Structure 1
Amino acid sequence: MWPPASPSTRESTMHDHRKLGRELGLFGSDPLIGAGLPYWLPDGAIVRHSLEEYVRDLERRAGYRHVHSPVLGKRELYEISGHWSHYRDDMYPPMDVGGEQLVLRPSLCPHHALIYRSAGRSYRELPLRMAEIGGMYRSELSGVLGGLSRVRAIQLNDAHVFCTLDQVEAEAGAALALIRRAYDALGISPARFRLSLPGDGGKYVDGDWDRAVGILRSVLDRSGLAYDAVEGEAAFYGPKIDIQIADGVGRESTLSTVQVDFHQPAQFGLEYVGADGAKHRPVMLHRSIIGSVERAVAQLIEVHGGAFPAWLAPVQLRLLPLSGAELPCAREVLDRCGDLRAEIASEGSLGARIRDGRLVPYQAVIGPREAATGQLSLRLRDGSRRDAEPADDVLERIRAAVRRP
């Protein structure tokens, strides 16, 4: 099997995703839509959808079940969860609809708590792992918005594990391992790991903070990872492990998290029947592998400079007929590409077309010899070339090389 085409065009320094993402036709914006509300162009949508499919598959294989929930909820829902009293400044104002006040959700966890509560639960079902890539909305100030990394409408890769107290440390460790596995597949290197602790003031709910902090500290210690403990960075309901990333100028942001929450299970009256026949309160573990899809794609653009891993690339194979005489052959090959993301580039000089496709993992020049023999000779992204082989064999090798990790 060939190795995946190497993104050797990557520069030694990171790229600005706001500039490069627009140059590559991945996303855009319009004042009539509004600041912090980018739209996805076709190539960007391919990257986004491929990333979402990878995460869903990774979660499914790790025992998560996927759900969908509405992006709206009654104000009362967020009053119960604590978001209204502790997070209201970052939420959009309520909308009066039919005598009720509806709010664009700032988080998915209250909805997932209600889904858990929708049926009686037994200890035999736990840990119950519930995942969703869902919309959420935050009223960010205009001055902090930028590209895909800070937006107002977010597609969040979120999950909640409902488990017993005895299970929570193992589940948190498994979540951290899943995040690290995804980062390896995506080529993302964390800037640092942070244990986010409560600070002073009324930002935090009352609760068993010492126990929650102890669980996450133990997870980090067992993992062997170096980490910083920082006060004042916890969620209002519990401490977090935050996986920090950095952009090209060193600005940090949080991409992925693992959080322990004793607060919301109590607020929503969540229960399960234990082996003793009595009712018990589950622990709620919040976990996000890639955080928001927008911020994850921004980081991927900056890290890879648009030369995405082959399985993420908007175009995986580019066919370059030398002249119009080879165009029918190129079309025949394209018809056989099946699920490969392939295209024909026939306009302009060959050199210009090769340069235009420098970020595409595989390019194949089709000249008279290739058209006559039914073979393809590939040019890889790192500039190396492969010997000519039958077209079907080449396509099968590419399929194996671009398969999702």
Structure 2
Amino acid sequence: MYDHRRLGRELELFDTDPLMGAGLPYWLPDGAIVRHALEEYVREVERAAGYRHVYSPVLGKRELYEISGHWSHYSEDMFPPMALGSEEVVLRPSLCPHHALIYRSRSHSYRELPLRIAELGGMYRSELSGVLGGLTRVRSIQLNDAHIFCTLEQAVDEARSALELIGRAYADLGIRAARYRLSLPGEGGKYVADPELWERATGLLKQVLAEAGLAYDAVEGEAAFYGPKIDVQITDPAGREATLSTVQIDFHQPERFDLHYIGADGAKHRPVMVHRSIIGSVERAVAHLIEEHGGAFPAWLAPVQLVVLPVSDAQEEQAHEVVRRALARGLRAECAGPGQGSLGARIRAARLVPYQAVIGEREADGDLVAVRLRDGRRPGAQPVEGLLERIAVCADTRAAELWSAA
């Protein structure tokens, strides 16, 4: 059983420091590589699906969150406002209000819809110390977020397409969904008091789940304050459940921000706002990937994809040349020379690296490497260029298999 809090530190992916504060982890170089690869993957998938990326500030005036409803329904989870002259600014707890303002900044025709806006952006939540843990529950969050502004007739298709994107990402990442949850409101003043809003949005999400052919559990008390959502649940090795990805259909924010588009009839119409996150927060996604794979990440995500191991000092220069050739192809490669211990010790130290390339006297004479795979297989001596091509193809296609038949 793997615990990402222990394993992530052992693998030097992330750490914390009391002077930075609880719930504020920092990323070490290898962890930063994993995070960067994951973020680039998400951006690529989103671009291919018609999303356009934006950047927005992590601060906003208190008035912004009063309009969105966060201040009245969610302020206990927000950091206190900071005085800025005669105004108050707040660290944002979500990206939704900023994206609503970005939409509102331009006029829109029905011909432009659906308009899909995505961002990998920071947000901050004042979590209690008792619930913080590793990367799964933090106060500084990098969220893979997106908002789709569409007509009512487009909302179900857009939400279903978001679920399909989530399924594709899980397959590429080697993640399994434990269950799908339809998160509904509970009792109390936490939720927006608009029964018609809840009924309409819930009905559409049920239609999305039915059309996607997904079984789900309806659970009260887990909705966002402004609307119901579909939560994709995952479990850790200890069986603890958490939400990783979400899809929501929102009528509340478009109303609060007075969003509209010009319809075919020339009149103003209110858009629907579909919220969706493919991998949720980068922090929680990486935590789950550490535990799911035990640190043996898919080759395209691995901090080091290839380690080159010269048997003796005589092959070290050639080993560095192989590394240079690998780096030139965009691969992540390192040399582990004799100065780092015996060959056996170096092989064991690199046990989580997908590809190991040993260079002895025989290999050096023929521009070859003796290949060892992380799973224990030994394909044997291979031409250097042939190996680099295999690794590049595996990484580019995000293949789960390290050495498929040619």
Is the structural similarity TM-score above 0.5?
Answer: yes
- The 2-side partners of 1:385 and 1:78 are apart by 58
Unaligned runs of 5+ in 1: 1-13
Once superposed, which parts of structure 1, at least 4 consecutive aligned residues long, lie more than 6 Å away?
none
Residue 395 (structure 2) aligns with: 402
SS in 2 for 1:335: helix
Give the aligned partner of residue 280 of structure 2: 291
Query: Hey, what's the Cα distance between the residues in 2 that align with 1:393 and 1:290?
Result: 34
Aligned counterpart for 1:260 among listed residues 226, 233, 249: 249
Q: Which residue, 106, 116, 122 being the options, matches 1:119?
A: 106
Aligned length: 392
What's 1:342 paired with? 333
- 1:360 paired residue number: 353
Look up the equivalent residue of 2:309 and give its one-letter code. L
Closer, same or farther in 2 for the Cα pair 1:108/1:404, shift >3 Å?
farther
Alignment of 1:270-289 (within 5 A): 270-289=259-278
Aligned counterparts, 1:155-170, within 5 A? 155-170=142-157
What is residue 370 of structure 2 aligned with on the other side?
A: 377
For 2:223, the equivalent position in structure 1 comes to 234
For 1:148 and 1:23, the matched residues in 2 are separated by 14
Please show how residues 14-163 of structure 1 align to structure 2 within 5 Å. 14-163=1-150
Name the counterpart of 2:402: none
CA distance in 1, matches of 2:209, 2:371: 45
Q: Provide the rounded CA distance (Å) in 2 between the counterparts of 1:206 and 1:275.
A: 32
Supply the distance in 2 between the matched residues of 1:314 and 1:222 (Cα, whole angstroms). Answer: 39
Distance 1:65 1:377 in 2: 45
Provide Cα deviations, 1:259-318, integer angstroms capped at 9, x if missing partner: 111001010010000001000000000000000000000000000000000000000000
Choose from 282, 290, 294 the match for 1:305: 294
CA distance in 1, matches of 2:198, 2:168: 29
Alpha-carbon distance in 1 for matches of 2:354, 2:42: 22
CA 1:404–1:109: 2 relative to 1, 3 Å: farther
The residue number in structure 2 matching 1:182 is 169
Question: For residues 354 and 87 of structure 1, what CA distance do their matches in structure 2 show?
Answer: 51
Letter in 1 for 2:47: R
Specify the SS of the correspondent of 1:189: coil
Letter in 1 for 2:40: E
Q: In structure 2, give the amino acid aligned to 1:295.
A: R
User: Matched residues in 1 for 2:347 and 2:368: separation?
Assistant: 19
Q: State the partner residue of 1:6.
A: none
Structure 2 residue identity aligned to 1:297? V
Residues 21, 301 of structure 1: 8 Å contact kept:
yes
> Structure 2: how far apart are the matches of 1:29 and 1:203?
33
Q: Does 1:269 align with 2:243?
A: no
The reply to whether residue 213 of structure 1 matches residue 206 of structure 2 is no
Question: Which residue in the other structure is 1:197 paired with?
Answer: 184
| Amino acid in the other structure paired with 1:250 | G
Cα drift, residue 404 of structure 1: 4.8
Contact 2:372 2:380 in 1 (8 A): no
* Kept in 2: contact 1:307–1:313 (CA 8 A): yes
Contact 1:54 1:404 in 2 (8 A): no
3-state SS, counterpart of residue 258 of structure 1: strand
1:136 deviates by 0.2
2:219 & 2:387 partners in 1: Cα distance?
A: 52
Match of 2:401 in 1: none
Q: Is this contact kept in 1: 2:227–2:249, CA < 8 A?
A: yes
Whether contact under 8 Å (1:255, 1:295) holds in the other structure is yes
Structure 2: 5+ residue stretches without partners: 399-406
User: Partners of 2:287 and 2:380 in 1: how far apart?
Assistant: 36
* Among candidates 298, 306, 316, match of residue 317 of structure 1: 306
- CA distance in 2 between partners of 1:317 and 1:389 (Å): 14
Q: TM-score, normalised by structure 2?
A: 0.96
SS of residue matched to 1:87: helix
- Name the amino acid aligned to 2:128: L
Query: 1:378 and 1:401 mapped to 2: Cα distance?
Result: 15
> For residue 124 of structure 1, what is the amino acid of its counterpart?
R
Q: Which residue of 2 aligns with 1:332?
A: 321
Structure 1 residue 387: Cα displacement: 3.0
Query: Match of 2:30, as an amino acid?
Result: D
Deviation at 1:166, TM superposition (A): 0.2
How far 1:377 sits from its partner (Å)? 2.2
Q: What's the RMSD between the two structures over aligned residues? A: 0.8
CA offsets per residue over residues 212-235 of structure 1, 9 Å max, x none?
001111111121211100111111
SS in 1 for 2:153: coil
Inter-partner Cα distance in structure 2 for 1:223 and 1:266: 28
CA contact (8 A) 2:371 2:382 kept: no
